[in-house]
Amino acid sequence: MKRLLFSSLALIAVATSVQAQTDSTLQSLAPAPADTLLPTEPVATRAVATEEEILPVLPPEPAKQPRSSGNAKHGLGINFGLNGAGVDYAYMPGEMLAFRGRFQTLPFTLNIDDLEFSETYVGVDGSLNFTNLDLLVDFYPFKSSFKIVGGLGYFFNNRITSKGFFVDDLQLGELVVEPNDIGYVEIQSEWAKLAPYFGLGFGKAVPNSRIGFGFELGTYYGGSPDVTIIATDMLSETSQEEAELEENLKDYAWIPYLNFRLSIRII
């Protein structure tokens, strides 16, 4: 009986010792309280670099626009022909259209003093003075060198003058009249200052290469010319024919135009 009692006590003691050791082990493995995890001194925070901060972001490159043959071009021209000589400036915003400013002048004089008339000689002094500034539009319907031209011309001078006089004495039976006593007849014809223009031609206003060549055929509408007759001395009655002469010239309302042009591209 005693032996059984001592055995039971020994088992209880062993079990108590094992329980105490187990509690101690579990206590050491348990997480520490929150207060004990906080550091005693504040820790400086460290910024973490992101991928966007490491790699620089470059702006996108603008798309390159292809350069086309329709870019605006500028040119100068030297022209000469039936209506005189001059210069012009041309601007082409595209392949089918061009704008031009043209200046031309035609100073022409004629002096003849050996024309035979009624067994005597007469003389003629003639002058033709045309100076104009044109604003023109060239249209290329087929994107080729063929063009249709329209515009407006302003004439600073557009007068034709013809003066007739006697060079030698005039024999009238037994009467001899000197040239100074006979007098002279002068006829002046002048068209309107503003005149619409229409023409056809070949040649680019601004050549594709550095230098180009072209020609143009057209006409100005100047209306019926105003006629003035100045007659002196024995010929003074000729001035009465002014209205009749003006009527005869009313069909000459169109001023013809023929021109050759040398063009140079500057831009």
Instruction: Match 């790699």 to its residue by tokens.
Output: 55
Mean pLDDT of all residues in 30-42: 50
Asked if residues 131 and 153 have their Cβ atoms less than 8 Å apart, the reply is: no
Residue 225 has pLDDT above 90, yes or no: yes
CA–chain centroid gap for 162, Å, is: 42
Tokens of residue 110, six digits: 């004629």
Mean pLDDT of all residues in 43-71: 54
Asked if residues 101 and 151 have their Cβ atoms less than 8 Å apart, the reply is: no
* Amino acid at the residue 87: V
The larger pLDDT score, comparing residue 15 to residue 204, is at: 204
Q: Kindly report whether the global pTM for this prediction surpasses the value 0.75.
A: no
pLDDT value of residue 223 = 93
Q: What is the pLDDT of residues 154-195, one digit of tens each?
A: 999 999 999 998 888 887 777 888 888 889 999 999 999 999
pLDDT value of residue 181 = 87
Asked if residues 222 and 180 have their Cβ atoms less than 8 Å apart, the reply is: no
* Amino acid at the residue 147: K
Q: 18: pLDDT confidence band, cut at 50, 70 and 90? A: very low
Q: Give dist(CA 91, CA 242) in Å, integer.
A: 45
Domains defined for the chain, CATH in brackets: 74-265 (2.40.160.170)
